[in-house]
Amino acid sequence: MMQVDALAISAHPDDVELMCAGTLIKLERLGYQTGVISLTTAELGTRGTPEIRKQENENAARIMQLSVNKILDIPDGNVQVNKTNKLKIISQIRDLRPKIIFTPHWQTRHPDHSNCSHLVREAAFLAGLEKIDTGQPQHRPAKIIYCMEIYDFIPSFIVDVSETFEEKIKAMQAYKSQFHNDSQEHNDEGATYISTPEFLQTIITKGQYWGHKIGAKYGEPFLVREPMAIDDPVKHFSGHRFAGLL
């Protein structure tokens, strides 16, 4: 049984690369075990096929140096918050026993992403209840951490991903069927929001924007619902890179 420290759960292959790949790569370099679970094969996607997406997903996982990478069988376009799907996520959480889980913020453009957010939050809580029997020991992650997509929010914290942002872009570009690239392989397929040449620049600009907020070149913003405890405010804030700048 492979256990991970940080697990990202998203609706489709390529979602995590957009949301928090820089942070996952940074955590792996810090010595943590990282993993990704995609709920669907993205079989309804305009570009590519489930088989192509699976291969691209494996290529991206190698770039990100993931310890665990899985794609589940929940239907694309129908990620429902129901008992069956909750049990699937509960089983994965109990198997992998992550300390933290990254998932999309619940207010987002794609209904599957929003439902994924609610599904993960409920399953993570229920995974800690002993009387829900999956044949596994119960486990509840310490924190659910929400990732930013199209709609902005005020972050609880921002991770400096300056040293891993280049690898984040490489992981994104592993999805040649989905994002713009110089090859002609998928250019005859339908255009989507993320397949335009401008989309990559949007990701770079957002990374620079959130990095600027913390005095870094690139950043990834996150939100947690609960207040965060700080045991030593003097040590915490005096060591901040913006200390003394009021």
Q: Where are the domains of the chain?
A: 6-238
- The CA-atom distances, in angstroms, between 179 and each of 47, 189, 223, 235 are 9, 12, 26, 43
Nearest to 146 by CA among 61, 220, 81, 42: 220
The identity of residue 75, as a single letter, is: P
Please give the Cα distance from 210 to 215 (Å, whole number): 9
Please give the Cα distance from 203 to 104 (Å, whole number): 16
Q: What is the residue-level pLDDT of the chain in tens, covering all 246 positions?
A: 689 999 999 999 989 999 999 999 999 999 999 999 999 988 877 676 888 889 999 999 999 999 999 999 999 889 999 999 999 999 999 999 999 999 999 998 899 999 999 999 999 999 999 999 999 999 999 999 999 998 999 999 999 999 999 999 999 989 887 776 665 555 556 666 666 778 888 999 999 999 999 999 999 999 999 998 989 888 888 766 664 455
The DSSP string of 10-55 is: ESSTTHHHHHHHHHHHHHHHTT--EEEEES---TT-SSS-HHHHHH
Name the strands in the sheet holding 68-71, side by side, starting at the edge strand that comes first in the sequence.
Answer: 68-71, 34-38, 6-10, 100-104, 143-147, 219-223, 157-160
Predicted local confidence at residue 183, as pLDDT: 57
Instruction: Show the tokens assigned to 105.
Output: 């913020």
Question: According to the 3-state scheme, what is the secondary structure of 171-199?
Answer: HHHCCCCCCCCCCCCCCCCCCCHHHCHHH
Predicted local confidence at residue 199, as pLDDT: 83
Please give the Cα distance from 115 to 49 (Å, whole number): 23
List 103's β-bridge partners, or say none: 146
Please give the Cα distance from 192 to 49 (Å, whole number): 15
Instruction: Give this prediction's pTM.
Output: 0.91
CATH topology of domain 6-238: Rossmann fold (3.40.50)
